[in-house]
Amino acid sequence: MDLTLSPEHEALRATVEDFARKEVAPVIGELYERGEFPYEIVAKMGAMGLFGLPFDESYGGMGGDYFALCLALEELARVDSSVAITLEAGVSLGSMPIYRFGTDEQKREWLPALTAGERLGAFGLTEPGGGSDAGATRTTARLDGDEWVINGSKAFITNSGTDITSVVTVTALTGDADATGRREISAIMVPAGTPGFRVSKKYSKVGWSASDTRELFFDDCRVPAANLLGERGRGYAQFLSILDEGRVAIAALSVGLAQGCVDESVRYAHDRVAFGNPIGSYQSIQFKIADMEARAHTARLAYYAAAAKMLAGEPFKKEAAIAKLVASNAAMDNARDATQVFGGYGFMNEYPVGRFYRDAKILEIGEGTSEVQRMLIARQLGL
């Protein structure tokens, strides 16, 4: 497998790297501390075309591929994960279900603003009592004439309550279980501001403090029957396929955080003097940073391999799960080690590694826990 990036992919990677260093790094610390959503950064990413990377030009996209999105996520997450997850969720969870399963009319109505980054979309799958058991949906939607009437709630939904959120797609029970016990779960698009659709205040989170995450409530919320996304009864299955792609993207984001820990630790090891010498001259620090680099490198190979299979149209469920598992572990381990390299300064929010440490844990949970990834890998092995 040739791991050399194409000239187009390398140009994109370098452009996003430069953007992250010059536009994100100088301001994200204060935004993170205040728990403030980075509207100006999102607008700039939209102008760069990042929200449209894997979409056809006919819907306002850039005509690129999913690997291009992954490269952008890695470079953003080397500096900050709140910005990276805003892009990842906006594309893979907000826009991609509409792109994959929407009618042409739905695509033309919603995608141009989403791919331009002028608006954000979200996907409501997880429920307060669900977690990893996302198929245990309790939210309901019944047809009343030519409208769906939705009741229920969703939890931990990214990009769902910003000033520029335009639509949230939710999974809901739309009928009784069939003879085999399979429950009819469908996906329905709910425009922001629809009566009966209420968004809670932002969660107080351990990390990703500059991203938007909320609980959603539906109380006799009515939307047109035409807002059904994809085939009735296939909403859960549709979203599982979206999650396979999303796991590759989260793996790329995790690699970015892991590599950012290496970047900061190498810089600090040159500058910090202890016992008369830069700490980078001591083998204990050298070996710790060497292990960090090895983790980041290995995790990058894992998501490159998964992306290659995905773009080739081959089955990639196992490879996506492996990439997500390996990369999230690398992010968590590197964040812990980087904090140790920095010592007391690593515990201060003014240093990036403090943010990295707070942001890393969710990568082992969001879009499928590490336990779910192991379960998927085992299933693909026939166990």
**Which residues participate in catalysis according to the annotation?**
367
Task: Kindly give the interhelix angle for 352-360 and 235-271, rounded to the nearest 10 degrees.
Answer: 150
- Phi, psi (degrees; rounded to nearest 5) at 167: -155, 145
Angle, CA 33 vertex, CA 31 and CA 34 arms, to 5°: 65
Alpha-carbon span 313 to 291, nearest angstrom: 34
DSSP annotation of 227 reads G
Q: Give which of 246, 261, 264, 248 is closest to 330, Cα–Cα.
A: 261
Place of tokens 């892991």: 258
Check: CB of residue 188 under 8 Å from CB of residue 227. yes
Place of tokens 């080397």: 78
Give the torsion sign (CA, 3, 24, 11, 312): positive
Q: Give which of 56, 74, 92 is closest to 13, Cα–Cα.
A: 74
Tokens of 113: 């603003």
Alpha-carbon span 192 to 54, nearest angstrom: 24
Tokens of 112: 């141009």
DSSP-H helix ranges across the chain: 7-19, 25-34, 39-48, 66-77, 81-88, 96-101, 104-115, 235-271, 283-311, 317-342, 352-360, 370-380
